[in-house]
Structures are given as structure tokens and as C-alpha cells.
Amino acid sequence: MTYLWLKAGHIIFVIFWMAGLFMLPRYFVYHQEAEAGSNEEAKWVDRERKLLKIILLPSIIVVWVLGLALAATLNLWSAGWLHAKMLLVLILSGYHGYLGSYATKLARGERPLSGKQLRMFNEVPGILAAVIVVLVVVRPF
Ligand code: HEM
């Protein structure tokens, strides 16, 4: 019973986290299309900060806590698929951290990446999430 509630909570917050990770680079694209110093730009800074603070930060914490609680409940520490999954989740967490630092740069008026680079960058979480789901469901090793 505990296991099923933990798993339901884990999947719900995975959905919130992934939704935020897909949305934020898209916000960056629109942000960069706004004129520097304009009102519209200030609105994007605010939206990005809220998405990071209200959706992304709580979600990553809950996903990690419930994921580790599941692994402990099922005593999966020696499972190869879990090691591979955790490595990919670490990369995904690093991607999240990079988005946070990119939002700070945008708020300072810097625009390090082009719109095209941001769109390509946006593919990263989708690819990682697909491999993570295959690892946890198919368990190839
Ligand atoms: C530190 C991070 C994470 C840890 C430690 C973790 C660990 C786990 C564990 C132990 C399970 C239970 C497996 C079972 O029922 O036998 C699970 C389920 C699941 N996880 Fe994670 N997870 C993490 C992050 C993620 C992420 C980022 C995703 C997706 C992008 C994800 C997707 C899933 C899915 C879809 C399930 C349900 C699989 C099923 O029903 O069999 N997890 N996770």
C-alpha cells in the first residue's frame, strides 16, 4: 500500500517537473524575442522566476525524495537499471540547474544563446525522459 502511494506521488511530481522543464526554454525563446528593457521583457523575467520557484523547485525535490523512498522500500540498490536511471536523473537535474542560471543571466540582460540553440536545447529533457521511462519499465539490465 505504502509502495503504491509512493509510486503514485512519484509519477505525479515527475509529470510536474517534466512539464516545467519543457516550458522554461520555450519561455526563454519568447523572452528573447521581446525588446531588451521593455515591459514585456520584465513580464517574462517574472514568469520564469515563478515557474522555477513554484513548479520546478518543489517538483525536483519531491521526485528525488519519493524516488529514493521507493528504491529503499523495494531495496533496489543493486539494480543496474536503477544506477543507469539515477545517472540520467542527475544529468536532468544538472539541466534544471543550468536553466536556473540561464534565467538569472536573462534577468541581468544577457542573452548567451540564440533562439535556434534554445529550441535544440529543449530536446534534451524529452530524450532523457524517454530513456528513463524505458529503463524503469523494461528494465533491460
Ligand atoms: C532520483 C530520482 C529518481 C529515483 C531514485 C527513482 C526511483 C524509482 C523507483 C525505485 C521506482 C519504482 C520501481 C518499481 O515500481 O519497481 C520508480 C518508478 C518510476 N519512475 Fe522514478 N526515480 C527517479 C526519478 C524519475 C524520473 C526523473 C522519471 C521520469 C522522467 C521517473 C519515472 C518513473 C516512472 C514512470 C516510474 C513507474 C514505473 C512503473 O510503474 O513500473 N523517475 N522510480
Model confidence at 63, pLDDT cuts 50, 70, 90, reads: very high
Helical pair 80-107 and 39-50, crossing angle rounded to 10 deg: 150
CA-nearest residue for atom 43, ligand 1, is 67
Please write the tens of the pLDDT for every residue from 110-130. 999 999 999 999 999 999 999
Q: How far apart are CA 35 and CA 96, in angstroms?
A: 26
69 C-alpha to ligand 1 centroid (Å) = 10
Q: How far apart are CA 111 and CA 64, in angstroms?
A: 31
Number of domains making up the chain: 1
- C-alpha to C-alpha distances, 29 to 43, 51, 111, 125, nearest whole angstrom: 14, 15, 10, 16
Percent of the chain whose pLDDT exceeds 70: 100
Q: Which residues have a Cβ under 8 Å from the Cβ of 124 and sit 6 or more positions away? A: 95
93-108 burial, b at 16+ Cβ within 10 Å, e below that, comes to eebbeebbebbeebbe
Cβ pair 134, 141 in contact under 8 A = no
- Cell triple for 82: 536503477
Mean pLDDT score of the chain, rounded to an integer?
A: 97
Does ligand 1 come within 6 angstroms of the Cβ of 90? no
12 C-alpha to ligand 1 centroid (Å) = 11
Collapsing DSSP to helix, strand or coil, 88 comes out as helix
In which domain, by residue range, is 113 found? Answer: 2-138
Question: What integer is the mean pLDDT of 79-91?
Answer: 98
